[in-house]
Amino acid sequence: MNEIYALVVDNSPVIRRILGYVLEAEGCTVETAEDGLAALDCIARRRPDVLFTDLIMPKIDGEKLCYIIRNTPELKDIFLVVLSGVALEDNTATLQIGADVCIAKGSAAAMMVHIKAALRRFQCNQRGASGSIEGLEGLYPREVTAELLVSKKHREIILARMTEGVVELNHQGRIVMANDAALTLFNLPEARVLGASLLQLLPETAGERVRGWREQIVSAAQYEPLLFTYDEPVLLGDRQVTCNLVPVPENDTFFVIGILQDVTGRKKLEVRQRQLEKELQRIRKLDAMSMMASGIAHDFNNLLTIINGNLEMARYVSRDENVSQLLGESAKALNLTAQLIRQFTTFSDNYLPQKSQVQLRRLIEEVLARDLAPVGIRYQIRADEEELALTLDPDLVRQVFVNLAKNAVDAMGTSGRVEVCIERVDGSDEAARTGQPVPSGELARITFQDSGPGLAPSIIDQVFDPYFSTKQKGAQKGMGLGLTIVHSIVKKHGGLVWLESPDSGGCIVYLYFPLQEAAITDPRLCAGKGCGKRILVMDDEEMMRLINRKMFEHYGCKVSVASSGDEAVALFRQQLATGSPFDLTLLDLRVHNGMGGLETARQIVALCPEAALVAVSGDSGSEVMQRYSEHHFVAALAKPFSIDAVEDLINRLL
């Protein structure tokens, strides 16, 4: 028969000598170890045929040692013999270990008999637990032992239930105990963690810190703890972990208790909080611009309406072809100015997008073909659904991609590539994947990527701020509002925009728009044409009243004007008393003094529910202008308006 190699593991030198004597007498080659950790080193050098182990030992105990052996494929066939000094007090737990033979520690003579019997079972290949503990005869339960076992179980339960990871290291930095939370953080089974060096489980930089700290303890006996703080956590896979390693002196050596805490969730929340704070700061800046935009748009559009009205009237009365041509060019410039003001009013809280159903790919294709193709920049558009339609304000969303295209041209010059991808995504999944505050629900995600030089990480968070620009300021350079306008427009549609610049170069803008049904527009009232109709115009600007009178009189209307809401109500009441009420009443929603157009409309409708009222405002996106029919109006007229708009109004409503 082949020689049997036996490993004896017990922290009692007397027991080790007794077992060694018996086994050697039976022809075995014997090696001994004082604890489970030393046993693992012996096993690493040579795999034993039979292993005799005590249960209660320092460092790695017999129960953990048996667990490691039974859960390591190359070791699971070792014949296990457990020798327990607490078998009588804890026989159930002893039998559950999975040993081939369980022997209670008693007198040396009795133990020798059972050890020889266990060796014969091995030689006969009689494996598997017998369901009983050998050697219990003549033993009596000990109260103190039972109390110590209860205390040990309590400690094990506490460690198992802790959310923090707890590890114990010996003086060499090897792990001799790890609770469930620690095993989760290491993402390894207990069989691979116990006995391993902590250095092997940490990233290289953290491992070097631990190595230097341990060497300092050994050489200088300085028992200072080592901290991996919240600001400098250890990276364990995708987890960020704080670590507190506390050395504990013990006779002429030491051991280490380590506390590990997973702070990944808290770190992610802080990143999200910082993102939300930046978004809040950006919104506050936009709010300040909103207040300014509302006032500027109203006054500026008043002036534009006056200028545009006079130009239109001049074109009608002029007989000089050259003068008419110059007036036409001026009218075009005014139209561009009005468009610029409309962009500016997107910052206003009162501005509501004028939505309709939009074929997104077609809109983007039109913009890129016009703005990129002529300068030699190639582009590609990919879409999961070619005909994906969204309920958007087409003019505003077109402006979004015009601004992005301009930025791409500025970044790439006359050569480069733009790639656009349109996909359906789930907002909650995107928020979890990106860490961005993406709205929940079904969304359309548009990825707009250029091949330019990209942006420095230090300015990524500033690009949506008002007046921030990487270009020179000036008429033909940049005013720093392009991406601010993009941000404002996307926000007004209930979406999100964010940007990143990969290390490989280029810039990627992510835009999210909610997928929803097309909005139902308010019905427009229609009436037959007519001249000699009575028109009432209420506006607090004298020049506005003058130009409005001229434009309506051009079509043969009889025009009365009022400078305030009170005056308009009085004129309407007076005209109503004659039996010939006004056929059409234009009310400026915003006046500097007195009653505005909305309250005036309420009072006029109280006098005559059939009154045809038209809301007039320089803020075309305001809630009243967008939902005029809910506020007693039959139409809305945005300043500045041309004589053609007046003609359209007359044709539809008179």
| Each residue's pLDDT tens digit, 185-215 | 999 998 889 999 999 999 999 999 999 999 8
Most confident of 293-302, 363-372, 482-491: 363-372
Give the neighbor-by-neighbor strand order of the sheet with 635-638.
558-562, 534-538, 584-588, 613-617, 635-638
For residue 59, how far is the Cα from the chain centroid? 44
pLDDT of amino acid 351: 56
Asked whether the predicted pLDDT for residue 267 surpasses 90, the reply is no
The better pLDDT of the pair 480, 477 is held by 480
* 172, 438, 570, 586, 612 from 579: Cα distances, Å: 106, 59, 15, 20, 16
Cβ-based neighbour number of residue 498 at 10 Å: 22
Average pLDDT across the chain, whole number: 82
pLDDT recorded at residue 471: 61
Residues 6 or more apart whose Cβ sits within 8 Å of residue 4: 23, 26, 27, 28, 29, 49, 50, 119, 122, 123
Lowest-confidence segment of 96-110, 466-480, 537-551 by average pLDDT: 466-480
Query: Looking at residue 523, what is its pLDDT?
Result: 33
Give the pLDDT band of residue 467 (cuts 50, 70, 90). Answer: low
Tell me what pLDDT residue 475 has: 40
Per-residue pLDDT tens over the stretch 2-41: 789 999 999 889 889 989 998 999 899 999 999 999 999 9
Residue 498 reports pLDDT greater than 80:
yes
- Read off the pLDDT of each residue in 629-637 and give the average, rounded to a whole number: 91
Residue 472: band (very low, low, confident or very high) from pLDDT cuts 50, 70, 90:
low
Higher pLDDT: 470 or 463? It is 463
Closest-CA residue to 642 (of 278, 167, 310, 147): 310
What is the architecture, at CATH level 2, of domain 144-265? 2-Layer Sandwich (3.30)
Give me the residue label for tokens 């006779």: 251
What pLDDT digit, counting tens, does each position of 61-83 carry?
888 898 899 888 899 899 999 88
Kindly report the three-state secondary structure assignment for every residue of 267-284.
HHHHHHHHHHHHHHHHHH
Q: What is the pLDDT of residue 565?
A: 93
Task: Assess whether the region 275-346 and the region 356-514 belong to the same CATH fold.
Answer: no
Match 């000089």 to its residue by tokens. Answer: 320
What is the percentage of the chain residues whose pLDDT exceeds 70? Answer: 84
pLDDT higher than threshold 70 for residue 104: yes
Tokens of 307: 């200028």
Is 90 exceeded by the pLDDT of residue 136? Answer: no
Task: Report domain extents, the chain.
Answer: 4-142, 144-265, 275-346, 356-514, 534-653
pLDDT at 477: 46
Can you spell out the DSSP letters for 478-521? B-S-HHHHHHHHHHHTT-EEEEE--TTS-EEEEEEEE--PPPPP
CA dist 523 and 107 (Å) reads 103
The pLDDT value given to residue 530: 46
pTM > 0.75: no
At residue 483, the pLDDT reads: 85
- The answer, yes or no, to whether residue 144 has pLDDT greater than 90, is no
Displacement of CA 112 from its chain's centroid (Å): 67
> How crowded is the C-beta side of 523, counted as CA atoms within 13 Å?
2
* pLDDT at residue 552, rounded to an integer: 87
Indicate if the pLDDT at residue 325 is higher than 90: no
Supply the pLDDT for residue 290.
Answer: 59
pLDDT (mean) for 405-418 = 88
Q: Where are the alpha helices (DSSP H) in 345-481?
A: 360-371, 394-412, 427-434
Q: Which residue has the higher pLDDT, 153 or 271?
A: 271
> Which homologous superfamily is 4-142 in?
Response regulator (3.40.50.2300)
Topology of domain 356-514 in CATH is: Heat Shock Protein 90 (3.30.565)
pLDDT for 582: 94
- Rounded distance, CA 413 to CA 377, Å? 8
Residue 594 has pLDDT above 50, yes or no: yes
In angstroms, the CA 122 to CA 370 distance is: 87
- Answer yes or no: is pLDDT of 450 > 90: yes
The crossing angle, in degrees rounded to 10, of helices 643-653 and 264-317 is 90
Three-state DSSP state, 165: strand
The residue whose two tokens read 């003068």 is 323
pLDDT at position 140 is: 55
Question: What is 275-346's CATH number?
Answer: 1.10.287.130
Phi then psi for residue 131, to 5 deg, are 90, 5
- Residue with the larger pLDDT of the pair 451 and 335: 451
What CATH code is assigned to 534-653?
A: 3.40.50.2300
d(CA 7, CA 337): 93
Whether residue 404 contacts residue 486, with contact meaning beta carbons closer than 8 Å, is answered with yes
